[in-house]
Each structure stands twice: as C-alpha cells, then as structure tokens.
Amino acid sequence: MSDRKVHEVDTDVAIIGGGTAGLNSAMAAAEAGCRVLIVDKANIVHSGAIAGGIDHFVAYLGTGPSWDTREAYLGYVGRVARGAADLDVHDAVYCDELDAALARTEKIGVSLRQPDGKIFRTQAMGQPGPYFINFDGKHLKPKMAMEVKRRKCEILNRVQVTNIYLHDGELAGFTGYDIRTGDFYRIRAKAVVIATGNTNRMFNAQIGNPFNLWYCPANTGDLHRAAFDAGVALANMEYVRMTIVPKGFSAPGFNAFFGMGARLVNSLREPFMKNYHEMADKAPRNFMVWGALQELKEGRGPIYMDCRHLKPKELEHLFFTLGIDKDTLPEFLLAKGYAKEEAMIEMTVSEPMQARPSELCGSGIRIDRHCASNVPGIYAAGDASDQMGCLHMAMAGGFAAGKHAAAYAKKIAHLRPLDTHAMAEEEARVFRPLERRSGITYREFENIVRIICTDHFGPVKTELSLTGALEKLDRLDTARDELKADNMHELMRAHEALNIHQVSKISARAALERRESRFHPYQYRADFPQTDDANYCGLMVIQKQPDGAVTTRLDKLKYAA
C-alpha cells in the first residue's frame, strides 16, 4: 500500500455518519452558511438504519385530544423511558424542532399522508394515543441524500473514520481511510456531529448469520469507541435491546403488526400480553419482549402473531407496510404459507444489540440540550447519542445538532492543528493488518466476541457473568495485534471487529455498575431483579479519563409528576 494517497481536508462542520440524523445535521449546518463535509462508511443514498425504507414517524400533532399535546408527549417519555430519558433535552431537541421536521420531510418530496390525502395514525408501544404516523418512506433516504447535495455539502462516501483528535482539550479533527482504495484522510474541522448509530453484531443472531439482523449490521460502534477513547462521556450503554420478529427472518415490523391490532398468542392460542402489562399488545416494546421470553421459558412456545381477526383492508395495509422497511418480508411470509386471511405467523425474540432501551431515548454520547458532548466541538445525533432514537428524533434532533454545531463553528477563528506524529502513527496502525502474512481473521475474532457477549450478558446478567465477560474480553486484547487482512474489505471488517470488542467492554462495565433491573429484559440483573428508583433512576455515564482510567457515575434525572 505504499502508493496510497494521503488527503488533507479542512471544513467548518464535519458530519460523521450519513444516515437520517447525519443528513439532517448536514442540512442545518449548510443552512447556517457553514462549509459542510459528510463522511460515511457506505454511500449516503442508501446507508443507515432506514436504508431500505421506513413506515412510521412518531409525532404529537395538537389535533385536540389531551394526549396529542407537547405536555402529554413529554409525560409519555417520562413514564416509558424513566431512568434513561432526559426530559430537558427532549423538550429542546425534539419538541422545539418537531414542526420543522414534519415540514422538511414533506418539502424534500416524501408525503406523510396516505394516497387519499389523510394522515393515518396508529397506537402501540405504550403510547397514550396514536402517535405513529403511517407513511410510505421507501424513498426518504435517497431524497435526503439529494437534498444535502443540493445544499452543496461535500461528501466522502466509503470512508471509515478511525480516530478523533483533540488539541488543548478541544476538537481538532479525525482520520479515516477509503475502504476501497486505501487512501488515507486527515480531516480538520471546527465542529463535528457524530451520527453513526448504535452497535450491532455483538450477539449471536437468531438465524446464525451475523449480518442478517433486525437492525443495521454496518453499525458497529466505530464512533462510540473513537469518541470514548477521546474522553467523550457515554450514557445508556448498558442496555441490551431486542424485539419480536418472524422466526427465520430478522426484520422490522413490530410497529406495523401491533399498530394494526395484531395480537401475540402462545402455542395454546392464548393472548398472553395482558399477563405482563395493563396495555397488553399496546405495551412498550421491552414488556412485549419480556412477556414473549417468559412464555417461551415456561414451555408455552412457540409464539405467534395472530392477524386472523383483521379485516381484509387492514391486512392489505399491514402487508404493504411490512414491505416498506424490508421488500422481501411479505414475500417471505406468504412463501411460508401465512395466507393473508388466516395469518398465524410464528415469531421469536430477535438477536440482542447494544442500543437504546426505548423508542424515546438513545444510547451513546451523552448530550445536553444543545446536542453537545462534554468535549468542546463534539456533538452527537441519532442513535449515536444517549437521547435520540428512531426516525422522529433523528429528523428533529439531527437538525438541532447541526444547527448548534454550526453556531459553535462560527465562533472558532482558526482550525486547530493535528499532530504530525500522531497522524503517522495512526496511518501505520490502520493498515498494519494488511502487512501480516499470518494471524487471526476478523471472522474468528468477532465470533469469539459474540460468543462471550451472548453467554454472559445477552440478556440475563449477574455480577458473576459480567465480571467473567470482562475478564474474557480483556484476554482478547493480545489477539487485537494479530488480526490480519488480505484486502481492503477485510481491513474494514477487522476494524469493525476491533470496535465491537471495545464497545462490548464498555457495555459490560456499565451493566456491572447498574445494580438493578430496568426496562426488563434490556437490563436484567438476575442478582438485582427489582427496579431501584431510589438509587438508579438516571443515566449511567461511563468515561475514559486522560490517564486511561475508566470511571462511571450516575446522572440523576428529574421527571414531571
């Protein structure tokens, strides 16, 4: 690789991650008059969690009912995401931005209305009313990509960011490399918005393929790890998130099923969710997963999605909606013999992942009401932050992050320098796996990490299992220097595996410090099975100090009565 090129790029605001949150951040920063650079590991036209499409947008619309207001929405967040959601942040980055986010979605050419011109809303996941706007978001992602191009944002596709650098405690820039050509990038920026999603591929998938997941398999904690190493505080990292999916096919669809009135039943054909939550099949996602796990554990499985009571038009809408996120899901269901009029679809619990405990918050960089981290110049949005999740927060909060990052960048007179020696060391580190003639493949390394995580904290955890996980993950540190890659694709996968390994440690460490159970089963401590609001109603914040020590603290949160 001695012939690879080295590029030096300067910008005002850099957006790392070209998913929904990142592109909305880019729109805001460009609108503020900043030079904007978007860096994405894939291609921004089809990347991120909604690369294949999206079918719902959570919003209160002020239509009259008491549940359809800003105050009611914040009350809902406070109840359902209690202990993980910072209402002050939500009020600023979602509620303040919601109307503009809805208008922006329509303006870029994606209608939130049905073909008859009406808004169709459904209720699920603990909502006090139908907050889910059903819409055809199949082309939302490419439409957003067209919009940032129209706004003259510079774009670097297929560049994997490897590390973040500070100067005198403030952002200086970051490094990355082209995953196809091997070109190396040194990028200076006055501000950066990190929008690279959560961390997947940490746990064994239900069908055995680590890339066939409920959520985006390209989200591998790359910037969780890099930000953490730069001293950025992370929060909500202990939660292990799951959902309910068709058996043999990990795919979105939870909201579509339950929003249209489908019911979970056990092998006795008994609806069982009423035994686990007063809202039954309209309960928050974690209660649905917990109920399914208990039915399976107690021998009343398999479980099924019962759609037999739905009317033909409701089934038609359901199957259309299921195909928006995943084109082949309706085909799979029909091929398995689930005829529309007699649909009894066998379901199971999905693979775990490191991610938010609720649709109403996030897991990652701890942000304030300006979307800023504890490190000057570093902002976060979407699933990479601790307070944003799903489309509604990525659209609204992503724009807020870009707006605040731009305001910060405008106050910085000069770009900060990147240390020449550090740049040379990083370039050597990044490409070292290509120089090894023998060693460990990313597949071997990543698979061992998955086995450890699955066996020790996916999802049942105890002090014994978590300390055991950390000991085993620490023993893999020596193997990190033995990873080999035969080509650029394997090099990218090797760095993903290294990041997954480090995030696994962060997640286990945070889970160990939270000596309670919250959002069962996402943080289920069998040795502390009860929720302890007196001591743990807040954010578990984990941070690497300048001397390398890892510290944790609990940021307590206030909630409305």
Q: Where are the domains of the chain?
A: 243-350, 435-537
What are the b/e assignments for 298-316, b being 16+ CB within 10 Å? eeebebbbbbeebeeeebe
Q: Could you report how far apart the first and last alpha carbons of the chain are, in Å?
A: 61
Point out which residues pair with 504 in neighbouring strands: none
Q: What is the pTM of this model?
A: 0.96
- Render pLDDT for 480-518 as a digit per residue (tens, 0 to 9): 999 999 999 999 999 999 999 999 999 999 999 999 999
Element housing 96 (H / E): none
Report residue 431: phi and psi, to 5°: -95, 0
Instruction: Give tens-digit pLDDT for 87-139.
Output: 999 999 999 999 999 999 999 999 999 999 999 999 999 999 999 999 999 99
CA pair distance 192, 173, nearest whole angstrom: 8
Give residue 343's pLDDT. Answer: 64
Could you give the CA distance from residue 460 to residue 100 in angstroms, rounded to a whole number? 41
Q: How far is CA 148 from CA 109, 155, 216, 371, in A?
A: 13, 9, 22, 20
Q: What is the pLDDT of residue 206?
A: 85
The CATH class that applies to domain 435-537 reads mainly alpha
pLDDT at 1: 47
pLDDT at position 2, please? 59
Please report the pLDDT score of residue 561 as a whole number: 43
The number of CA neighbours under 13 Å toward the Cβ of 299 is 0
Strands 378-380 and 184-194: parallel
Supply the DSSP symbol for 34.
-
Q: Does residue 45 contact residue 423 with C-beta atoms inside 8 Å?
A: no
How far apart CA 361 and CA 150 sit, in angstroms, is 31
For 189, 382, 414, the CA distances from 406, given in Å and listed in that order, are 11, 17, 14
Cβ contact 113:421 at 8 Å: no
Q: How deeply is 406 buried, as exposed, middle or buried, from its count of CB atoms within 10 A (0-12, 13-18, 19+)?
A: buried
Q: Could you give the residue ranges of the DSSP H alpha helices within 412-536?
A: 420-435, 442-457, 463-475, 477-480, 488-513, 533-536
**Which residues of the chain are modeled with pLDDT < 50?**
1, 561
Q: How far apart are CA 114 and CA 530, in angstroms?
A: 44
According to DSSP, the residues that pair with 184 across neighbouring strands are: 6, 177
413 in Cβ contact with 464 (< 8 Å): no
User: Under CATH, what is the fold of the domain 243-350?
Assistant: Flavocytochrome C3; Chain A, domain 1 (3.90.700)
Check residue 520 and give its pLDDT.
97
pLDDT at 469: 98
